[in-house]
Structure 1
Amino acid sequence: MSTQDEYDKERNSKKPGKNARKKSEARKIASAKPDTSKKNQGLPQNSAKPKLKFDKTGKEIGRRDKPIREIKKSNPEDGIRLNKYIGNSGVCSRREADTYIATGLVSVNGKIINEMGYKVKMTDDVRFDGRRLNPEPNTYVLLNKPKGFATTDSNAKGMTVMDLVANATTAKIKPFGRLGRNATGLLLFTNDDEFVQKFTNKGIARLFHIELDKNLKSEHLKKIKEGFSIDGNEITIEEISYVDNSPKSEVGLKIKHTGTSVIRTIFENLGYDVVRMDCVTLGPLTKKDLPRGRWRTLTEKELSMFSMI
């Protein structure tokens, strides 16, 4: 073997193999990566991360060691500030209400209130310059009442008309006028005290379709039309007539009384029993497109018609 051949053999034996080169490159990459182990960072091996607390929706509400601030919810039964009550009624702003309260123009349940921050309940009688205020928008609901429901807002009477309009509004409406439990037809609900007071005094003409236990004699029809007194009380009827194409036991009667007991009294005084009573019109309102047991809110046009009565 020549000297040159010996030299080449020795040089090739010193070159690293293919596997050796891969291991060397891997060691270089590994040494370049940062060491994130807890041991090299000086952290204890069993250290735990701070725990968080979450509400039912998954929202973070604070760290474990941080006290959570309790938010006190307002209770409607505690009442609302008097200036807010007045502001909600639309009379004036809250700032202006404070001025009126300070000058003695506001009373609560008959007592003048000058105290800033005074709280009132929704059931309190709050008056501004003598006028009763309502913190809710005026609401008017018309119901076509079915049989078997008492006209009252008392739960002690079993099924009431309030059950039928429970979903009509959040306003505290009450029935205006009355229909007996077995009477049917139109019944109005509102929270407008001025409306109630006005038409309680003036009355609203209501037309009833009445069925009697026997035919109504013509002389009795005439007597009712002319008006008469019962126990010293004058009974005035707007209109009365037989119903067209029906037996003479069925009559139409228009009256301005807000109740229906007077109607039964009229016929009982003449020897008749009322079998069925249905209110078909109430002032300018009719039962058109309002099925039995259903309700609807009055339109602006209908409310303007009441203002002309």
Structure 2
Amino acid sequence: MTDRKTRTPEYNLSKYEAKKETKSPSTKQTIRLNRYISNAGICSRRDADVLIESGEIKVNGKVVTELGYQVNPNDTVKYGNRVLNKEKMVYLLLNKPKDFITTTEDPDERKTVMDLVKSACEQRIYPVGRLDRNTTGLLLLTNDGELAEKMAHPSNNVKKVYQVELDKPITKADYQKIIDGVELEDGKVTIDDLAIVSSDGTTLGLEIHLGRNRIVRRLFEHLGYEVIKLDRVVYAGLTKKDLPRGKWRFLNEKEVITLKYLI
């Protein structure tokens, strides 16, 4: 009798644990539909609820309006004609230091921006656009391929503001040339704004939306100046406020929504 009482709880416990082991994985793999949509970078969870209730979301070809609906790993979720990615979208802003190249890897084993963000997240993120090795300042990294493509496309006119330090004061004539537009070998360079920010005329603030390779450096070199320092201080409305050189931070939800709205 004693043996039976001792064995019975052990037997029941093992059955209970067996049930947990078979049930647990499927539970962990499902995700609420509004979170799935938010992870895909479409909108916030609250706005995702609105999309669901209004019949904008399909799961496996069928409209789903249930707010608590659970999505399985093999389900196909669509918003309009767009298939949503279940991976959480990551948006990271880096204040790039000098001597780091903007690439995911380098065969010459030079330092890359990926070295600075390697512990930031589990997702594989990529730089949006490029900053050359000697240029410092704001760089966006993300796994949102659609956003990255839009930001890189010239037609979307993504605003960038640079602080430029020259080897000598800029002349009035050259200042006016830049305002009017300078013809380079790959076409005319038109800027959005230009201002002298130092009393000696060697430091300028330049706003531009063109994304051509080394465009700011080539602009001043064409006019006979050497760019001593080049720092991107604003990128698509994002600033370096409270972000020291070499550090990074995640964009908040408002910044992500604003970024997508701008382009």
TM range (shorter): 0.5 to 0.7
- How many pairs align? 193
Equivalent residue for 2:117, pick from 156, 165, 168: 165
What does 1:186-265 correspond to in 2, within 5 Å? 186-201=138-153, 202-231=156-185, 233-243=187-197, 245-258=198-211, 261-265=214-218
Q: Greater shift after overlay, 282-291 or 251-260?
A: 251-260
1:279 equivalent in alignment to 2:232: yes
**What one-letter code is carried by the residue in structure 2 that aligns with 1:233?**
G
Q: What's the offset of the Cα at 1:130?
A: 7.3
Tell me if structure 1 keeps the 8 A contact 2:163–2:204. yes
Q: What's the offset of the Cα at 1:156?
A: 1.8
The TM-score normalised by the length of structure 2 is 0.66
Kindly, what percent of the aligned residue pairs are identical?
39
What does 1:59-98 correspond to in 2, within 5 Å? 93=59, 96=60
Equivalent residue for 1:137, pick from 64, 72, 88: 88
Query: Cα deviation per residue 1:84-120 (whole Å; 9 max; x = unaligned)?
Result: xxx8986765xx27x9xxxxxxxxxxxxxxxxxx9xx
Q: What's the offset of the Cα at 1:247?
A: 2.0
CA distance in 2, matches of 1:193, 1:166: 19
Tell me if structure 2 keeps the 8 A contact 1:179–1:259. no
Equivalent residue for 1:146, pick from 97, 100, 112: 97
CA distance in 2, matches of 1:260, 1:287: 22
Structure 1 pair 164/266, CA: closer, same or farther in 2 (3 Å)?
same
Structure 1 alignment gaps of length 5 or more:
1-86, 100-117, 119-126
Tell me if structure 2 keeps the 8 A contact 1:178–1:258. no
Tell me if structure 1 keeps the 8 A contact 2:128–2:151. no
Tell me if structure 1 keeps the 8 A contact 2:147–2:260. no
Structure of greater Rg: 1
User: 3-state SS of the aligned residue for 2:107?
Assistant: helix
Higher RCO (Cα < 8 Å, 6 or more apart): 2
The TM-score normalised by the length of structure 1 is 0.57
CA distance in 2, matches of 1:247, 1:294: 31
